[in-house]
Amino acid sequence: MTENSIHDELRITMTAPPLQPSAYSDSDVDRLLGFLGTMVQIRAFETEIARLRGLGTVVGSVHLCSGQEAIYTGAAAALDLPRDLVFPTYRGHGWALACGAGLTAMFAELMGRQGGVNGGRGGSAYLSVPDVGMMGENSIVGAGAPIACGAALAGRFDGSNRVTVAAMGDGAVNQGSVHEAFNFAAVMKLPVVFVIENNHWSELTPITATTVSDRLFKRASGYGMKGARIDGNDPEVVYQTMKQAVAYAREGNGPTIIEAMTDRLVGHYIGDVQQYRLPGEMERIEAAEPIGRLTDLLISRGVDEERIEAIVQHAHSDVDAASKLAQQYPLADPSTALEHLYA
């Protein structure tokens, strides 16, 4: 058996196929309804943030994750939070909420107000919520990967037996620090799961223009790691694959690369007019977005539509109430801007 065939075999064992509606048990349906609530909450949060950014209530640079909610929802559900730790990119609101960050504190942070998860200091691109295992966004592309390796290595000495997740976009995979992290994690057999949120665009450039092969999970074989490419718009597939990768890592077997295929429904940043989009691309993306797909699956499973609608409305109501409450908080005191800084 060749080395390539060995890695193909390993990849297959890491990939969770989508279940057919008839295969779901009642407990599966309950889990999927929970996933739906989380995804709707994240989508509604991002929609409200976009509105508030247009009004000037939210300040600073903002990168929304609308359309990618299934990755955060499924992945976080497979972790033992806050023992396990997540190191996302600057597109990290969804990760924070999926890990359990409070809506009001998240809104307040993006508004630069007291009561924010970091007292208004982090804003959209630098927030962290360590109490729920979300260890902080990073605006240096790919920089979370080596940090996640460090946290994983520390877990060998502090007795936590933690698993860390380094989340990154497809463009970050070409960063030198990411390759160093892949190599270090593989050599040291660190309990790290590298999650590539492949939305096909490295900012405004298609991934096909920056790499010969756009099947990024195949890079795992070069480091002796397991790798999988999965449907990142199916939270159940993400959850089941992540469960395998997390268990594999916690048992001391080393890291995994999971390439989760998805699309963003919005621009790279607020204000991105998306002139790079191809004709018909947005129609395809909207037809495959995760909330609509999961809703259709639940209906096909016989879940009452009123039950689904109640979950959706509850999520929207929570987001609306949290936004209004956060807007009542006082702005952060500028004199405290240098507090909590370390060199």
User: How do residues 244-254 score in pLDDT, each as one tens digit?
Assistant: 999 999 999 99
Nearest to 145 by CA among 98, 79, 192: 192
pLDDT over 70 (residue 10)? no
Which whole-number Å values give the CA distances from 130 to 21, 124, 242, 263, 287, in the listed order?
37, 16, 21, 27, 35
Position 313, amino acid? Q
Tell me whether strands 192-198 and 164-169 are parallel, antiparallel or unpaired.
Answer: parallel
Query: Which residues have CB under 8 Å from 47's CB, separation 6+?
Result: 66
The reported pLDDT for the residue numbered 5 is: 33
Q: How far is CA 113 from the centre of its chain?
A: 25
Give residue-wise pLDDT tens across range 326-336: 999 999 999 98
Task: Say if residues 252 and 189 touch (Cβ distance below 8 Å).
Answer: yes
The reported pLDDT for the residue numbered 206 is: 85
Cα 320 to Cα 284: distance, rounded to the nearest angstrom: 29
**How many beta carbons lie within 10 A of that of residue 221, not counting itself?**
18
Give residue-wise pLDDT tens across range 315-328: 999 999 999 999 99
**Which pLDDT band holds residue 201 (cuts at 50, 70, 90)?**
confident
Token pair of 278 as six digits: 């191809």
Kindly state the average pLDDT of the residues 200-216. 87
The reported pLDDT for the residue numbered 239 is: 97
Token pair of 253 as six digits: 């077997």
The reported pLDDT for the residue numbered 14 is: 53
Domain spanning 3-17+30-329 has what CATH number? 3.40.50.970
Token pair of 72 as six digits: 């955060």
Token pair of 258 as six digits: 């999971």
The secondary structure of 154-219 as a DSSP string is HTTTSS----EEEEEEGGGGGSHHHHHHHHHHHHHT--EEEEEEE-SEETTEEGGGT-S---GGGG
**Which pLDDT band holds residue 6 (cuts at 50, 70, 90)?**
very low
Position 105, amino acid? A
In this structure, what is the dihedral angle of CA atoms 74, 79, 81, 85, given to the nearest 10 degrees?
A: -100
Give the helix ranges, DSSP H, for the chain. Answer: 3-14, 26-55, 69-77, 93-99, 103-110, 123-126, 144-154, 176-188, 235-250, 281-288, 290-300, 305-326
Residue where the block lists tokens 């698993």: 163
Tell me whether strands 201-202 and 205-206 are parallel, antiparallel or unpaired.
Answer: antiparallel
Give residue-wise pLDDT tens across range 268-320: 988 888 889 989 999 999 999 999 999 999 999 899 999 999 999 999 999 99
The reported pLDDT for the residue numbered 212 is: 86
Task: Find the radius of gyration of the CA atoms of the chain.
Answer: 20
| Domain segments of the chain as ranges | 3-17+30-329
